[in-house]
Structure formats: C-alpha cells, structure tokens
C-alpha cells in the first residue's frame, strides 16, 4: 500500500504523517505541491501545518497547487484522501468537503490532548476503530472551529457523515462538536486533531491514533 | 489608474470571535458608541485606467474563487477613483 | 540627502556628524576617525554605531565574559565554542547538537507580539546558521506583578508571539518559565532558547574565505524594520517618566522563515556554502563585517543589489535595517547555480551582492560609489572594551544582615492553607494557560515538555538517543548574593537534567541586568559571571555561548539581577528516562538531600513581601554527587522530581496532580520541611522492593535521605492536613484563567 503525503511550503507535520503511515504498515511516498504527479499512490494524506503561512485563509492558496488538481480528480474516482488539520482546511477550500474551518472561538491557539469519539467507522481511514470508540489524540490549531450552514449540518448529521466528535467541552466552537467529517462517497475524510502524533505513548498521549493508518492498509482503491 | 476594492466579511450567521474581542475591548478603553463589531478584510486592486465591464466581471470571479470563501464569507466589489 | 561617499568624506573632514544621536560617545567617534584616518561616511558611521552598541559589541561585558574561556573545563564534547553564532557539542553517534539562548527584552515591552515573535525567529536563525535543523524551542519569560495592568498588556501578546512564530516554524516548545515580580514591570524579560541537531560533518561557520567566492543574500526582502533598534533600544534604558525612543520594531513572518529553514537545509545537505551568517541585530552591517572578519578580511559588496521591500530606503538605512528572515552565504562560483535553483524551488528571494576579495578591507558601494571602506575586524570584533567601575551596592550588607521574618504555619489547618496558597501563587500555579498556546508535538520527537523538570527530545528513532534541556534562574538569590545565585541556578538546571536520567553536558546563558553604567549593577554582573564561570569549571560543564542583555531598567531602578542558565544533557535511551511523577499507588516516596532553614529568597518569603537574608551556599561537590546518584538511580526509579521555588510543598503538589494519584506524607517539622528552599533536593518514588537499593545509593554518594511517605489515594495528606486532589487542583489551575481570561 503506497500512501502519498503532500508537502506544501509551510507544511509541518508531513514527516510525522509519513512516520505514522509506515508505523501503520504502508509505504510513505513524498509528494511535492508543485509537481502534478501522484506517483501511483493508493491513497493521499494532506498533513497539518501552516501551508503558505495561512495567508489569506488557511489552505486557500494550497488548494490551487498543481498536485491538488490530481488529488481532486483521484478523489472523484474514489481514492481515499485524509486531510489532517491544515489538510482538512485545504480539503474544505477545495470543496472536496463541505463547510469551513474558522478561528477558534476563544481566539487562542490550543494544543491539548483531546478526547474524541469515532462516530463513523465505515470510511477507509476509520475502519480499524469500533463505532463509538473514544480515543485521546493531540489537538493543536488556531483555526479549528468547523462551521457550515444549517442545510449542510442537517445533511452531515442525517447521512452519518460526521466521523468524529469532540468529547466533553467544545475546544474551539465547532458546530455540533464536529472534529471530523467525510464526503458523500465516504472516501475523503477531514479531521482536525492529529492522529499521527498519537502512535506511540513515548511521544504522544496514547497510541490510539494509529488506527487511522492501519485502516488504510485494509482499504481497496475502487 | 483606478482602484477596485473588494470588501470581504463573514456571513452574518458565522461566529466572529475577533469582532467580538474588539467589541469587548472598546468600552474598556472608554469608547461607548458600539452596539456590535464585525471584522473583515479589504483588498485593494490597482488597475490601469478605468475598469471595463469585463474586468469587473473577472474581479467578481476572483473574489468568488480566491479572495473570499463563499461558504462562510460575503464580498462586495466597488470601484474607487 | 546627498550620498556621502568615501571620496566626499576624505574631502570634507570637518562635517558635523550625528554620532551622539546614533548612540556613540565622543571618544568612540574619535577612535573611528583614527581607525579610518578620516571622518567616516554616514554609512560607515551607521555601521560602527550599530556594531559598537552594547547589544552587539558586548563592550561592558567582554572583560568579564572571557572568564568562560579562561576557566573553561576540559571537555572533549565541545566542537564549537564561544564566539560563533552558537556553541556545538558532540552528543555521540555522530550527532552534534547546537543550542543557545538569547534575549529580546526591550522590543517585547514596546510591541509584545512582534518582540517575542522576532526573538524566537532570531535565535532559530542562529541555530540554523550553524548548519543544524532546529528541533525545539524554550521560553523563559518574566513579567511584572501578575495582577498589574501592564502585565495584562504584555503577557498575552508575548505568549501569543512566542506561540505564533514557533508553532508556524514547526518547532515544539518543550519548556520554559513564567515568573512574576514587580522588578520586571517596566522591563519584561523574553529569553528564547533554540536547540538544533546535525551530523558533525555538517557544522557551518561564519567565515568568508576564498577570494572570488560570492556573497549571497537570501530570504526576505529588506525594509525599514527596526532601523536603529539595536543601538538605540537595547543600549539605553527607558526614561522613568515613560517617554521612550520609538524606532520601528521588527515585524516577523514565520512562514518566510520556515521556508528559509527548509531551503537552507537543502543547500547545506549539498554542501553549497563555504560560510554563512544570519542577519539579526545590526542586519547587513553585522553579517558583512562578521563574515569578512571570519575570513582574511577582504570583501566587496554592492549595496544597491540588495532587494528592497521599500525602495525609498537610503544606503544607511539598508545597512541598519533589521528586517527579519534574511541570511548571508559565501558560495563558490561553481556552486552558485545549484544554490539559485534550490532557492527557486522554495520561492526564496536570492541575490548575489558581492564577493570575497584578497586584502583586508570591507568595501561597500552604492551604484559604483564607495560608501564604506573599513577594516571589518574593527567593526565586528574590535569595538570598545570597557572596564566599567564596579562597587558592591549598599543594599547587600543591609539585606544579608537581616533575617527573614515570616509567619510560619502551625497546625493542620494552617499547613493546609499554606500548601493551597503556594499551589495557587502565580509563580507556582499551573501554567497551562500559557503552554497550551504552544505546539509541543510537532516533529514527533518530544519526550518531555512543560510541566516536566526539563524538556527532552529524541534525536534518533532507531537508537533512541536524546537530549534534555532546562533553563533556570533565581533572581531572589542572585539579588541576595549574585555569586552564589549564579552557581545555584547552574546547579538547578543541571539537576533538572539529571532527574530525568540525562547527563549534563554543556551550558548556555542569558544574563539580564540593569545598566552597566551603574557600578552596583556592574558588580552584580561581575559576581554572577564569576560565579557561573567558577561553577562551570567545578562541574565540568563548558559554556558554549550565550547572550547579555543590559539596560533592563526604568529610570534609576534596575531589575533584579537575572542570569538565566540553560543546561543541555544527553540520554542514551529516551525510553528509559525517569518521569516526573508516578501513576500507581503503593510506591514509597523519599526526599534526597537535607532540608535546612532556607527561607531567604523563597517563594514563601516573596509572598510575604520579604527579600532579605542570606542565600544558601551552593555546594557543587554535593550537587555533582546527587547528579551521579540520579543517573545511577534512573535504572530503577519510578519517578523523580526536582525541588526548586516553592520547596517541598510545590514539589508534592506538582507530583500528585500530574497523574492524579495522591500521597500520604509524614513530616517532623512540617512548616520548614514544606516551605524551605534548600537547594539540592529531589523527591524520588520507588517500589517497595527497591527501597534498599535507593538507600544504598544514598550512602554510596553521601546524600542525605529521608522517608516522606507513600503514594495513593485521592488526596495529598501531610500529617493531619488532608487536601483533596480536587481542592488542590482547583487552587493550582484557576489562577491563570482568573488573571488572564
């Protein structure tokens, strides 16, 4: 299983995502934003960071990168795509996912060990988890508040497209405590917290994030 | 030489914590005039001569696709001499 | 204003020049004329004024700092010592680690966010310049009283700036300090530390060697940031009436620096540079003169080639600009194309602005006219050296002869109240409000971060080699006895490293003091440096570099002497580190080290408005034995936590709250046992079947040991005082949200 990890200028967690991919059993393939080349990967991860310094809006400029053209096409054909944090922001700006991520409601950057509930385990990124399983993984961002209009929210809830929810107090003002969502087809997933930083108790709050990277090993590209 | 201005504001239903923070800070500094404050962005685009209809249409498109995120923001385009 | 060239300077020797406004004294101006054999051009005057300022030239501190070299302990680990951008030490397995701490105090008072942000940016570039990948940052911060209005102005901005810049660079923040004291009200201290790692063969130095090699400026474009910031801001105090000189503060862009880091590391990996220097304080003046000095001295630069953000800048302003995120590299002509290619890949502005020449003059032209022609060493290294007068201030004898007079709690209720009071004291309270704004996970190698005793990062994912760093200072002790205070801070930082199982290896320092023109302050400085140098020699830890920040005072009132000491240590296997606290009940708790009545300079005394008495005497021989004990005990300790401010009370509070497992403690003299701050003490948790082993270690290393109690339960019980963890947690964690929102 070859999983591509995209690096935009300003991406920070690409090496961490690659480490997690390898820990999960797949091969990590580095993808450069300016190259329109997916190198025959089976899945793609858009990692966290501050691509383009969050200029204009988070992910607003990355979305137009040459590699993103191919990602959008591939996603349309069913390729599994995971956007973590800034990656989630890029997916929303690209309209591969609905809604948008806005400034944390208390205006501060927040880094904390966050409990989330895996609500939907039918995506290629969450199949290793039990439905309703609670895990603790790091949340670290300044613009993590998921917003969308009522219609979109009803769709997401009604179609079971929320894949993860924050447990306990809402850390950033996200509607309905949404921590992660998927598209209608179920192959594109956006997640605000960072599973790649919870693959080893030595360096993270738990090893419970590894499931995202073992799930993909079991996925098949349609 | 003309200046096209694009004002981008969060949609009214979107929480604006920065605007709220400003609204809280004003009375602390002795300013009591504000009922509420919303914060947005202003883009100033310089072009040669007066803008044509085609150019303005292009600016509208740019505003829709890049300068704003239509999911959460509205924009207004106008020309300043 | 017409361009002032060398030719014009030669023909108009009597032109009046504003040397005083630029911060130069009349004798310094005279010396410049002597060096050049004529009056300086305005560009040369700008260069000398900035480079000879206190901040850049260390003119008041040099005579004292040379002790670090003179008294340097023999250390095979030191690869690059004092004098370069940062020190470099060998940590084994072919790895070299570089680390340094710097200050950005005055700018942070003026513009908290940008002052702190650019402080982080600056120290990170220093580390990058050595050829290393920056891997972590730390931020010791000091503010005025926690409830002061101005603290509410500067603290949130400074914290947001440290986080905003560091997070965007992808550097985990692995520790720091937040200290409140009225002494810092007009002069907050923002010290920033960065650590980086590389292979030995990657070490880069700041020298321009090889005639014909190109001088290349890359990174951000140059604007009017911080013009005069260095010489004007950091070399004069703020007026007591509140009026300050207000040159433009530097504004940073961490994205540009992140790209600069990646671009530079690719350039280094392909061995494309002969020498490199970052542009920090004094910008191009510094980079060109230092690079030229590092080589044979010859360099030619066409200043008009510098890419500008603001085309209206004059040559003098370009030379003095402190625009951030710029680097200057020396590149062989055969490698320049590849250098330019890599910059293009990362979209980094890059310009060849000159070349290394034969000879020993730095010549800078503006559209062909020579505006600077100087011997670079006179700019960068041969600035004035002052031997400022020093005199023990009157307060020393006064305070040392007084005894601390504070109420001592007695009985269960008062003991409980004291523990809760300390738990919630701003200097000891939970700092999550601050540290949650910092990313501690990025890069995936953080083993320890706040609130642990030291920050620890893994260097090698296969061998698990790691390094630990701690920064410490005790301004109260330094005030009472600067010589002992420095030694005590050094011992504390080293002890914090050893507590986790890492062996201390090297030292950096950030010396924050008042005005060197005040003989009393100068005495405090001299004593602190002497104490640190003596301490480092005795402990076998070389000083690899550091920073001096003078003029931290408002009017005639200087800050408490605040030498911040950073110690770096090595741990062979990070998986075997000793954590700060325990997760199970039934463990036995012991206190290593004897507790005496050391309330002078303590937090308890501070809370009662007392800063008198005699500081403890540092017993470094004993501290070193304790370090060996801790390193040997790492093999079987369940947990170990260093005691410092707040004494045993704070230590126990922090330990029980870390994983929410309480403890039952018996103390024979609870008030002193809890509140005293005798140095050289560590709480250790061991399994019952390891107690004999622990006692044997204590005997082996001649360290006093006493049983404290056992772990377990949901309260901290000390004799008859029962404090529920919930109550303790509330006291500990509500202070910062209450103060800062």
Model confidence pLDDT, tens digit, residues A189-218:
999 999 999 999 999 999 999 999 999 998
How many CB atoms are closer than 10 A to CB C174?
Answer: 28
Name every chain C residue with its beta carbon within 8 A of the beta carbon of A111: 435-441
> Which of B10, B17, B72 is nearest residue A105 as measured by Cβ atoms?
B17
Q: Percentage of chain B surpassing pLDDT 90?
A: 74
Q: How many CB pairs under 8 A join A and B?
A: 36
Looking at 3.40.50.1000, 2.60.40.3950, 3.40.50.11930, 3.30.1280.10, the CATH number of the domain B2-80 comes to 3.30.1280.10
The answer to whether B71 contacts chain A (CB < 8 Å) is: yes
Q: What is the pLDDT of residue C280?
A: 85
What would the mean pLDDT of C191-207 be, rounded to a whole number? 91
* pLDDT confidence tier of residue C226, bands split at 50, 70 and 90: confident
What would the mean pLDDT of C128-147 be, rounded to a whole number? 97
Q: What is the pLDDT of residue A220?
A: 60
pLDDT tens string, chain B, 81 residues long: the values are 899 999 999 999 888 988 998 998 899 889 999 999 999 999 999 999 899 999 999 999 999 999 999 999 999 999 987
Question: Does B69 sit within 8 Å of A98, measured CB to CB?
Answer: no
Q: Which residues pair with C563 in a beta bridge?
A: C511
3-state helix, strand, coil in chain B (%, to 5): 35, 30, 35
Q: What is the pLDDT of residue C2?
A: 74
Residue C253, CA distances (Å) to C124, C581, C731 in order:
13, 38, 38
Q: Which of A33, A58, A194, A197 is catalytic?
A: A194
Neighbouring chains of A at 3+ CB pairs under 8 Å are B, C
> Residue A48's closest chain C neighbor by CA?
C442
Burial class (CB in 10 A: 0-12, 13-18, 19+), C336: middle
What would the mean pLDDT of C28-53 be, rounded to a whole number? 94
Residues C317, C206: contact at Cβ < 8 Å? no
Where in chain A are the domains?
A: 2-218
The C-alpha of C470 sits at a distance from chain A's nearest C-alpha, in angstroms, of 19
The C-alpha of A139 sits at a distance from chain C's nearest C-alpha, in angstroms, of 9
Q: Which residues pair with C466 in a beta bridge?
A: C458, C571
What would the mean pLDDT of C442-456 be, rounded to a whole number? 97
The answer to whether B12 contacts chain A (CB < 8 Å) is: no
> Residue A47's closest chain C neighbor by CA?
C442
B32-41, C332-341, C646-655: least confident range: B32-41
Q: Which CATH class is domain A2-218?
A: alpha beta
Where in chain B are the domains?
A: 2-80
Q: What does residue C646 show for φ and ψ, rounded to 5 degrees?
A: 90, -5
Neighbouring chains of B at 3+ CB pairs under 8 Å are A
Q: What does residue C270 show for φ and ψ, rounded to 5 degrees?
A: -95, 10
The C-alpha of B25 sits at a distance from chain A's nearest C-alpha, in angstroms, of 14
* Series of mean pLDDT values for 10-residue runs along chain A (222 residues): 96 97 96 97 97 93 96 97 98 97 95 98 97 98 96 97 98 97 97 98 97 89 43
Q: Percentage of chain C surpassing pLDDT 70?
A: 97
The answer to whether A171 contacts chain C (CB < 8 Å) is: no
> Residue A103's closest chain B neighbor by CA?
B17
Residues B66, B11: contact at Cβ < 8 Å? no
CB-based contacts of C54: which residues, under 8 Å, 6+ apart? Answer: C60, C234, C235, C516, C550, C551
Question: Does C575 sit within 8 Å of A109, measured CB to CB?
Answer: no
* pLDDT confidence tier of residue C240, bands split at 50, 70 and 90: very low
What would the mean pLDDT of C451-468 be, rounded to a whole number? 97
Mark whether A194 is an active-site residue: yes
pLDDT at residue C80 greater than cutoff 90: no
CB-based contacts of C311: which residues, under 8 Å, 6+ apart? Answer: none
The answer to whether B48 contacts chain A (CB < 8 Å) is: no
Q: What is the pLDDT of residue C312?
A: 85
pLDDT at residue C229 greater than cutoff 50: no
Name every chain B residue with its beta carbon within 8 A of the beta carbon of A92: 71
* pLDDT confidence tier of residue C330, bands split at 50, 70 and 90: very high
Both tokens of C250, joined, read 């530097």
Question: Does B21 sit within 8 Å of A56, measured CB to CB?
Answer: no
Q: What order of strands is seen across the sheet that includes strand C78-80?
A: C78-80, C87-92, C95-103, C189-199, C133-143, C173-180
**Start-to-end Cα distance in chain A:** 14
Q: What is the pLDDT of residue C295?
A: 83
Mark whether A85 is an active-site residue: yes
Name every chain B residue with its beta carbon within 8 A of the beta carbon of A105: 15, 17
pLDDT at residue C594 greater than cutoff 80: yes
Q: What is the pLDDT of residue C158?
A: 98
Model confidence pLDDT, tens digit, residues C674-717:
999 999 999 999 999 999 999 999 999 999 999 999 999 999 99
Model confidence pLDDT, tens digit, residues C264-306:
999 999 999 999 999 988 899 999 999 999 887 799 999 999 9
Neighbouring chains of C at 3+ CB pairs under 8 Å are A
* pLDDT confidence tier of residue C1, bands split at 50, 70 and 90: low
Name every chain B residue with its beta carbon within 8 A of the beta carbon of A99: 71
Name every chain A residue with its beta carbon within 8 A of the beta carbon of B66: 56, 60, 64
Q: What is the pLDDT of residue C320?
A: 86
C147-161, C167-181, C311-325, C560-574: least confident range: C311-325
Name every chain A residue with its beta carbon within 8 A of the beta carbon of C163: 109
């Amino acid at each position: 299983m070859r999983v591509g990890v995209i690096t935009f200028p300003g991406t920070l967690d690409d090496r961490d995502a690659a480490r997690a991919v390898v820990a999960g059993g797949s091969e990590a393939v580095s993808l450069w934003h300016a190259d329109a080349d997916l190198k025959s990967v089976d899945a793609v991860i858009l990692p966290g960071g501050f691509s383009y310094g969050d200029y204009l809006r988070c992910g607003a400029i990355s979305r137009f990168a040459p590699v993103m053209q191919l990602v959008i096409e591939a996603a349309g054909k069913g390729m599994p795509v995971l956007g973590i944090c800034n990656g989630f922001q890029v997916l929303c700006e690209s309209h591969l996912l609905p809604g948008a991520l806005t400034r944390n409601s208390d205006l501060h950057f927040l880094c904390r060990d966050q409990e989330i509930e895996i609500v939907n385990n039918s995506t290629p990124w969450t199949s290793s988890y039990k439905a309703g399983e609670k895990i603790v993984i790091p949340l670290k961002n300044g613009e993590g508040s998921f917003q969308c209009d009522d219609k979109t929210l009803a769709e997401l809830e009604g179609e079971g497209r929320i894949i993860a929810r924050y447990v306990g107090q809402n850390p950033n003002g996200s509607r309905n405590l949404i921590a992660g969502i998927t598209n209608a087809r179920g192959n594109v997933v956006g997640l605000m917290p960072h599973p790649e930083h919870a693959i080893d108790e030595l360096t993270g709050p738990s090893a419970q994030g590894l499931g995202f990277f073992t799930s993909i090993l079991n996925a098949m590209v349609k | 030489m003309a200046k096209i201005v694009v004002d981008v504001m969060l949609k009214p239903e979107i929480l604006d914590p920065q605007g709220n923070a400003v609204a809280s800070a004003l009375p602390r500094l002795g300013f009591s005039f504000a009922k509420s404050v919303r914060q947005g962005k202003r883009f100033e685009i310089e072009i040669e001569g007066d803008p044509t209809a085609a150019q303005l249409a292009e600016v509208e498109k740019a505003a829709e696709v890049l300068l704003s995120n239509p999911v959460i923001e509205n924009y207004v385009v106008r020309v300043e001499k | 204003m017409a361009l002032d060239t060398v030719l014009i300077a030669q023909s108009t020797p009597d032109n009046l020049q504003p040397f005083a406004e630029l911060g130069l004294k009349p004798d310094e101006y005279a010396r410049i004329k002597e060096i050049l054999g004529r009056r300086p051009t305005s560009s040369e005057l700008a260069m000398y004024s900035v480079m000879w300022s206190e901040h850049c030239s260390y003119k008041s501190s040099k005579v004292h700092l040379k002790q670090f070299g003179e008294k340097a302990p023999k250390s095979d680990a030191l690869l690059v010592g004092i004098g370069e951008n940062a020190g470099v030490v060998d940590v084994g397995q072919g790895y070299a680690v570089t680390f340094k701490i710097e200050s950005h105090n005055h700018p942070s008072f003026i513009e908290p966010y940008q002052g702190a942000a650019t402080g982080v940016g600056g120290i990170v570039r220093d580390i990058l310049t050595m050829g290393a990948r920056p891997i972590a940052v730390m931020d010791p911060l000091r503010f005025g009283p926690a409830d002061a209005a101005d603290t509410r102005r500067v603290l949130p901005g400074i914290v947001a700036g440290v986080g905003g810049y560091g997070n965007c660079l992808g550097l985990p923040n692995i520790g720091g300090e937040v200290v409140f004291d009225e002494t810092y009200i007009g002069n907050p201290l923002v010290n920033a530390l960065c650590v980086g790692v590389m292979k030995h063969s990657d070490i880069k130095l700041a020298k321009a060697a090889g005639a014909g090699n190109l001088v290349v400026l890359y990174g951000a474009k140059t604007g009017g940031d911080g013009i005069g910031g260095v010489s004007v801001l950091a070399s004069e105090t703020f007026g007591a009436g509140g009026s300050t000189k207000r040159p433009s503060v530097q504004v940073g862009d961490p994205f540009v620096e992140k790209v600069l880091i990646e671009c530079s590391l690719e350039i280094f990996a392909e061995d494309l540079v002969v020498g490199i220097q970052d542009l920090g304080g004094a910008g191009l003046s510094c980079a060109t003169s230092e690079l030229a000095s590092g080589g044979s001295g010859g360099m030619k630069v066409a200043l008009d080639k510098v890419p500008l953000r603001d085309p209206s800048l004059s040559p003098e302003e370009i030379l003095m600009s402190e625009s951030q995120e710029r680097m200057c590299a020396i590149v062989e002509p055969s490698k320049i194309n590849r250098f330019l290619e890599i910059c293009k890949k990362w979209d980094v502005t890059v310009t060849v602005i000159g070349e290394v020449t034969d000879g020993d003059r730095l010549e800078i032209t503006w559209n062909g006219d020579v505006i600077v022609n100087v011997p670079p060493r006179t700019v960068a290294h041969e600035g004035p050296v002052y031997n400022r007068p020093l005199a023990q201030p009157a307060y020393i004898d006064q305070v040392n002869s007084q005894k601390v007079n504070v109420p001592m709690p007695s009985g269960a209720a008062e003991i409980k109240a004291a523990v809760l009071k300390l738990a919630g004291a701003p200097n000891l309270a939970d700092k999550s409000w601050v540290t949650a704004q910092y990313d501690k996970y990025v890069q995936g190698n953080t083993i320890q971060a706040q609130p642990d005793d030291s920050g620890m990062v893994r260097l090698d994912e296969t061998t698990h080699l790691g390094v630990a760093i701690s920064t410490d200072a005790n301004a109260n002790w330094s005030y009472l006895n600067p010589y002992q205070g420095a030694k005590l801070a050094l011992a504390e930082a080293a002890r914090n490293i050893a507590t986790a199982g890492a062996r201390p290896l090297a030292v950096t320092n950030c010396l924050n003091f008042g005005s060197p023109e005040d003989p009393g302050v100068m005495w405090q400085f001299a004593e602190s440096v002497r104490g640190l140098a003596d301490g480092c020699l005795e402990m076998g830890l070389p000083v690899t570099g550091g920073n001096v920040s003078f003029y931290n005072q408002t009017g005639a009132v200087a800050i408490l002497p605040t030498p911040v000491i950073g110690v770096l240590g090595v741990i062979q296997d990070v998986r075997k580190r000793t954590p700060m606290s325990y997760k199970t009940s039934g463990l036995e708790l012991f206190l290593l080290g004897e507790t005496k009545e050391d309330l002078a300079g303590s937090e308890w005394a501070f809370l009662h408005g007392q800063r008198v008495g005699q500081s403890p005497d540092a017993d470094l021989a004993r501290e070193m034995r304790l370090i060996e004990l801790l390193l040997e005990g790492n093999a079987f300790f369940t947990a170990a936590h260093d005691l410092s401010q707040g004494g045993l009370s704070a230590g126990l509070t922090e330990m029980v709250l870390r994983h929410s497992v309480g403890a039952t403690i018996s103390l024979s003299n609870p008030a002193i046992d809890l509140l005293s701050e005798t140095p050289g003490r560590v709480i250790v948790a061991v399994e019952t079947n390891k107690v004999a082993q622990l006692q044997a270690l204590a005997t082996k290393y001649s360290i006093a040991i006493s049983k404290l109690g056992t772990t377990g339960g949901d309260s901290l019980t000390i004799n008859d005082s029962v404090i529920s963890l919930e109550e303790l947690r509330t006291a500990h964690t509500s202070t910062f949200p209450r103060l800062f929102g």
